[in-house]
Amino acid sequence: MPGINQRKREIYEESSLFLGRVCVRLGFKPNILTLVSVVCSIISGIFFWQQEMLWGVFWILMTAITDMLDGSTARAGNIGTVFGGIFDHVMDRYGEFFILAGITLSGAVHSGWGLFALFGMLIASYTRAAAESIGKIENCAVGIMGRTEKFILIIGGSIIEHYLPTGIWPKGGWLELALIIVGLTSTITAVQRLIYARKVLGDRKEV
């Protein structure tokens, strides 16, 4: 699993490098792009809150694109910093919060499932961060589903929710189902990361 995720990450970074070079030529800075990504997530959350599903989806896509660009710009221009990496991870969590909070407050799904998905995404990210910072594990990005795949689920559920004729499935059913899957896979991912950290660290003592 770690090897597969690592290869996926390498393909992702290689394919986005061209766009990063474009951003460098335009004078964009990684941290500014990170902030733009957060703004996009806030806008997405507001549209979801107002039950404007398609606009919410559009701004999720903008969130994902700008989030991809900050890392590719840092790599393309060799201008990445340790603080920039920390800033990006923290802002990603804010972005997840705004989007899922908007969906939860919209009334389109049961609030309990919205909170379940939100907590799951946050705890999966925190488990990785703890393993890498406290355990000094180089890369703990293991698990059955990453952040991008979870956003794809939310996008798919939102689109089906918008276009599905009334009466075929209860209102809230498809987006709610997507959030349930996001919450479950995030929880499983957190457990997988704990198991992986245990395997790598063994009985290593605290320094």
- pLDDT confidence band for 79 (50 / 70 / 90): confident
pLDDT tens, residue by residue, 146-183: 888 999 999 999 998 888 755 555 555 889 999 999 99
The pLDDT > 90 percentage for the chain reads 57
pLDDT tens, residue by residue, 106-120: 988 999 999 999 999
Does residue 26 register a pLDDT over 80?
Answer: yes
CA distance 128 to 194: 8
CATH for the stretch 2-200 = 1.20.120.1760
Does residue 197 register a pLDDT over 60?
Answer: yes
Q: List b or e across 168-180, with b for residues whose CB sees 16 or more CB atoms inside 10 angstroms.
A: eeeebbbbbbbbb
For 71-83, what is the mean pLDDT? 88
The reported pLDDT for the residue numbered 77 is 87
Please report, to the nearest 10 degrees, the dihedral formed by the alpha carbons of residues 110, 113, 115, 116 taken in order.
170
Both ends of the chain: CA-CA distance in Å? 29
CA distance 71 to 100: 23
Query: Which residues, including other chains, have CB under 8 Å from residue 174's CB and lie 6 or more apart?
Result: 157, 160, 161, 164
Domain boundaries, the chain: 2-200
Does residue 189 contact residue 124 with C-beta atoms inside 8 Å? yes
The reported pLDDT for the residue numbered 207 is 62
Comparing 20 with 62, the larger pLDDT belongs to 62
Query: Which residue's structure tokens are 């703004």?
Result: 39
Closest to 114 measured CA to CA, from 146, 158, 145 = 158
The reported pLDDT for the residue numbered 170 is 53
**pTM for this structure?**
0.86
